[in-house]
């Protein structure tokens, strides 16, 4: 895949995600249209040029409990081939991410939230002839910009973020990843109330 097709693919992913993350594009809202176009283009350039020198960049979208989610993440491989058991290999990587939350009940700024997260991730892989299957599991940390969204109350801006994901790596270098992730956030009752929240996400990744 050449530079232009990769740029177009990543721009399209970013633009589609932004369309669903808040108020829709409207002809009467030129400022919002320009802002969203700038964000989509900037995210795409980060995706293509990889200034962070990440091993992979990830785009995820989905939601749960009346909340729509868009997440961008950078991943760096930590240790590979730690062990092999019953045909499965175990690798680890670390992930930094930014996540935009938007209530599906309130499309205004009052229905929005943001978070940044860090997680060490364990990845079990099984290599087949034309595809590699994976299972990810991790417990990480996240910081929220607000301790509430809709009826959910999180008690503190600090949250634990548990993740379980499955998917496949495709391509001649296994450079494309597609998968599903279940993500749970709560503060483990460090502060009350501790409602917690669950997300279901579709994930697309690219390895440089």
Q: Cβ atoms within 10 A of the Cβ of 129, count? A: 4
- Residue 119 neighbours by CB under 8 Å, 6+ apart: 94, 95, 97, 138, 139, 140, 141, 161, 163
Q: Do residues 75 and 154 share a domain?
A: yes
Task: Write down the pLDDT at residue 24.
Answer: 41
Write the CATH number for 72.
2.40.160.20
Q: Do residues 200 and 118 share a domain?
A: yes
**Confidence bin at 47 (pLDDT 50/70/90):** confident
- Residue 27 neighbours by CB under 8 Å, 6+ apart: none
Domain total for the chain? 2
Q: Do residues 133 and 164 share a domain?
A: yes
Q: Do residues 126 and 65 share a domain?
A: yes
Q: Do residues 102 and 188 share a domain?
A: yes
Please indicate, yes or no, whether the overall pTM of this predicted structure exceeds 0.85. Answer: no
Please say whether the beta carbons of 106 and 71 come within 8 A: no
Q: Do residues 110 and 83 share a domain?
A: yes
**Confidence bin at 22 (pLDDT 50/70/90):** very low
- Domain holding 156, by residue range, is 55-207
Name the residue among 193, 191, 166 with its Cα closest to residue 180.
Answer: 166
Work out the percent of the chain whose per-residue pLDDT is above 90.
65
User: For the segment 132-186, what is each residue's pLDDT rounded down to a tens digit?
Assistant: 999 999 999 999 999 999 989 999 999 999 999 999 999 999 999 999 999 999 9
Task: Write down the pLDDT at residue 174.
Answer: 94
User: For the segment 89-134, what is each residue's pLDDT rounded down to a tens digit?
Assistant: 999 999 999 999 999 998 888 888 999 999 999 999 999 989 999 9
111 SS3 class: helix
Cis geometry, peptide bond prior to residue 70 (ω within 30 degrees of 0):
no
Q: Cβ atoms within 10 A of the Cβ of 185, count? A: 23
Burial environment of residue 201 by CB neighbours within 10 A (0 to 12, 13 to 18, 19 or more): buried
Q: Do residues 107 and 128 share a domain?
A: yes
CA distance 54 to 67: 29
pLDDT over 60 at 10, yes or no:
no
* DSSP at 109: G
Q: Do residues 42 and 83 share a domain?
A: no
Backbone phi and psi for residue 74, each to the nearest 5 degrees, phi listed first: -115, 140
CA atoms within 13 A on the CB side of 194: 12
């Amino acid at each position: 895949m050449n530079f232009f097709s990769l740029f177009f693919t990543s721009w399209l992913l970013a633009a589609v995600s932004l369309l669903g993350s808040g108020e829709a594009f409207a002809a009467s809202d030129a400022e919002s249209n320009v802002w969203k176009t700038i964000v989509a283009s900037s995210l795409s350039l980060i995706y293509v040029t990889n200034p962070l020198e990440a091993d992979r960049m990830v785009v995820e979208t989905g939601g749960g409990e009346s909340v729509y989610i868009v997440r961008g993440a950078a991943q760096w491989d930590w240790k590979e081939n730690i062990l092999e058991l019953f045909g499965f290999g175990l690798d680890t990587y670390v992930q930094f991410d930014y996540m935009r939350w938007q209530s599906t009940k309130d499309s205004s700024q009052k229905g929005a939230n943001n978070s940044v997260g860090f997680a060490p991730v364990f990845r079990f892989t099984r290599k087949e002839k034309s595809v590699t299957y994976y299972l990810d599991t991790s417990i990480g940390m996240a910081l929220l910009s607000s301790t509430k969204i809709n009826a959910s109350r999180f008690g503190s801006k600090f949250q634990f973020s548990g993740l379980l994901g499955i998917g496949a790596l495709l391509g001649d270098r296994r450079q494309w990843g597609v998968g599903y992730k279940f993500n749970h956030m709560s503060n483990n009752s460090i502060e009350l109330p501790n409602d917690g929240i669950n997300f279901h996400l579709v994930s697309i990744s690219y390895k440089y």
